[in-house]
Amino acid sequence: MLPEARTYPDLLRKFSWDIPERFNIGHAICDIWAEKYPERTALILDEQDQKVSFAELRSLSNRLAHLLKARGVLPGNRIGVLLPQQLETAVAHIAILKAGAISVPLFTLFGEEALAHRLTDAGAKAVITNHEGAAKISGLCRHSHSAPFIINTDDDFPAQLQEQPDVFPVCDTLADDPAILIYTSGTTGKPKGALHAHQTLLGHLPGVEMSHDLFPKEGDKIWTPADWAWIGGLLDVLMPALYHGVPVVARRFEKFTGEAAFELMARHSVRNAFLPPTALKIMRGVEKPPPLNLRSVASGGETLGAELLDWGRQALGVTINEFYGQTECNMIVSSSRCLDAQRSGVMGWAVPGHEVAVLDDTGQPVTGKEGRIAVRRGSPVMFLGYWHNAAATREKFDGEWLVSGDRGIREQDGALRFVGRDDDIISSAGYRIGPGEVEDCLLKHPAVSMAAAVGKPDLMRGEIVKAYIVLSAGYFASDGLAAQISAFVKQRLAAYEYPREVAFLEAMPVTTTGKIIRRILRERARHD
């Protein structure tokens, strides 16, 4: 969707949206390529050492769409997809969307309570899953009269599909018809269902293309460890890549290790990768990574900081492009080395097609001052609203602006700096401290593998900075090491920013998408 350009200002001048009235994601990411180049590779299944063509993807998704229709699925019905990164997951989403139904991505590590909330809230008609998922769902739906029916991909799935025709009349959906109901990760409160239209894929494309240095290019091949149940895996990688005819490597490790990630990218000559900050921090511990063939690496979800960016240039051979967004309105800010749109401490610039601002307390855009990061209504990537929650939808907006819940600073040239979430900001002795800068400094200490900074209540200062640390291999917790780490930060940042207390953890509390849950750490700090 992005035009060729050499600089960010040039890109802005040339860009305009082209959103058709009628659009179906399932058709766009599968059938169009299957008609033009049926043998073109769509998926590379690492564990099976198998390539899947667009023609095969079309046949399988058409058969599954017929099976869903035969089981009573109607346009608008919600269908859960509870599967890891594998062929059946892609087939399921494509089939659901072709049938005009709404796909509900579900994470395989969810427990019964998390699944029950999402399936009940969505009013799911069916769930496509495997033996493990079926066992969970059967348990939680045992006493329900409106339990979803299950299509089990481990239960002779090929035979189930083989009975169905391999030609399916794709539902003639409008671009703004509902398509995907994806639940927030729940860092605060119960997860809410963000309902997206078919056009959300088109809305994602400029941000995906900018963060991967004008993706796609000849020879591109993409992988992410992010599960396809999350917006980062599904709409930042799988669907945009298939839309562009770029092969997607499918592999999500049961336990992510830096060594395994490097080995997989080297073995498949991966050219593009979306690596969340948590994955990068783990990979940073690999002493001698193999040479890679990467053209672009994008990362988002938390600010990276100079330390990780410097490491990325050395170990990955590219400058990592940061991007920003959230489940409700994703990929709205990005950096891009090929457009000279990068600067230390900046998360990026507004992606073409999105008007991003920083609002003051009166709701007015400001420059050079900290405020609320917001994006103006009208972007095709923006959600339609929270599922059956009009009040929460209204609260998400301030007039014409969708307010992210994050704080930042917009500079004179439009560059955007991330400060932190509203509830992550530390207020100490009159100073407002964003955790990102403190955490970036902490990561520069060789003993620190992962770090989180939160505010701890203090009678004199209001709050003090408290750091929670996961140590690198070979280091052991001690009062002396805590004091050394604290002094390390004090020497490099302003005197008010250093952690006055340091605590060591075996593991960092994170969401299923890998974001640090500072809420848990703040609560812990209150009682320490």
CB distance 95 to 169 below 8 Å: no
In the structure encoding, which two tokens stand for residue 159, read together? 């035979």
Which DSSP string corresponds to 75-104?
Answer: TT-EEEEE--SSHHHHHHHHHHHHTT-EEE
54 close to 21: Cβ distance less than 8 angstroms: no
What integer pLDDT is reported at residue 144 of this predicted model? 61
* Sequence spans of domains, the chain: 24-173, 432-527
64-108 pLDDT, tens digit per residue, is 999 999 999 999 999 999 999 999 999 999 999 999 999 999 988
Mean pLDDT, to the nearest integer, of 307-329?
Answer: 94
What is residue 424's predicted lDDT score, i.e. its pLDDT? 82
Q: Are 355 and 361 in contact (CB under 8 A)?
A: no
| Res. 510 pLDDT band, cuts 50 70 90 | confident
CA distance 170 to 68: 13
Give the list of residues 6+ apart from residue 205 with CB closer than 8 angstroms, or none: 1, 2, 240, 243
Give the 3-state secondary structure of residue 445: coil
Per-residue pLDDT for 483 more than 80? yes
Contact yes or no for 379/423 (Cβ under 8 A) = no
E strands along 435-507, which residues?
448-458, 462-471, 501-505
Rounded percentage of the chain residues whose pLDDT exceeds 90: 77
Report the first-to-last Cα separation within the chain, whole angstroms.
51
**Cα–chain center distance at 304:** 15
Question: Was domain 432-527 assigned CATH 3.30.70.260?
Answer: no
Contact 302, 436 (CB under 8 A): yes
What's the pLDDT at 187? 46
Alpha helices, DSSP H, located in 187-257: 200-211, 231-233, 239-243
Mean pLDDT of 401-410: 93
Burial zone of 227 (CB within 10 Å; 0-12 exposed, 13-18 middle, 19+ buried): buried
Give tens-digit pLDDT for 17-48: 999 999 999 999 999 999 999 999 999 999 99
Express each pLDDT in 224-273 by its tens digit.
999 999 999 999 999 999 999 999 999 988 888 999 999 999 999 999 99
Confidence of residue 497 (pLDDT cuts 50, 70, 90): confident
Section 148-166 average pLDDT: 94
pLDDT tens digits for 167-220? 999 999 999 999 999 998 644 457 899 999 999 999 999 999 999 999 999 999
Among 4-8, 162-166, 334-338, 420-424, the minimum mean pLDDT is found in 420-424
- Coil vs helix vs strand at 117: helix
**Which comes out higher in pLDDT, residue 492 or 481?**
481
Confidence of residue 440 (pLDDT cuts 50, 70, 90): confident
Classify domain 24-173 by CATH architecture. Answer: 3-Layer(aba) Sandwich (3.40)
- Interval 284-303: pLDDT, tens: 989 999 999 999 999 987 67
Mean pLDDT for all residues in the chain: 93
Integer Cα distance of 10 and 57 in angstroms: 37
Q: Tell me whether domains 24-173 and 432-527 share a fold.
A: no
User: If you average pLDDT over residues 494-523, what whole number do you get?
Assistant: 88
Judged against a pLDDT cut of 80, whether residue 160 lies above it is answered with yes
CB atoms inside a 10 Å sphere around CB 285: 13
Rounded Cα distance, 406 and 325, in Å: 10
- DSSP string covering 336-370: BGGGTB--TT--BEEPTT--EEEE-TTS-B-SSSE
